[in-house]
Amino acid sequence: MGILGSIFTWWNGATIGTTLALHGKQKMGSDSLGNVYWMGGKDTAGRPRRWVIYNGANDASRVPPEWFGWLHQQSDDVPDQSVQPRAWEQPPLPNQTGTALAYRPPGALEKGGQRVRATGDYEAWSPEG
């Protein structure tokens, strides 16, 4: 991303203002997606401020669960990269809204608009009837 892009487009990553604000803050680590986590200063409750600089599009669903807990002050321990997922855990997925992989319930127009009739289903009103 060029210098003009980093000044005006916040949705493609950190702006130049965010990059300048990181001066004097402590880099806490990064995750497998390349997101970088920072800490420094205090919030209004007196707790240390924590934030993420995304590697790519700014999408909160791209934060892994272990870093989510750290970001939201649920844990003071910085997540370890060596933590192995449990056998039942699936890798996190980014938000699928607006993509072909988004959930479409039966009857959605994208799936043909037909649904299974339910018992006691309604009868549509018609002016001729």
Distance CA 59, CA 68 (A): 13
pTM exceeds 0.85 = no
Distance CA 19, CA 44 (A): 22
Q: What is the pLDDT of residues 31-41, one digit of tens each?
A: 888 899 999 98
Q: What is the pLDDT of residues 3-24, one digit of tens each?
A: 666 566 655 666 667 777 788 8
Q: State the DSSP code for 38.
A: E
DSSP codes, 45-72: TSPEEEEEE-SSS--GGGS-HHHHHHHT
Residue 97 has pLDDT above 80, yes or no: yes
pLDDT (mean) for 100-127: 80
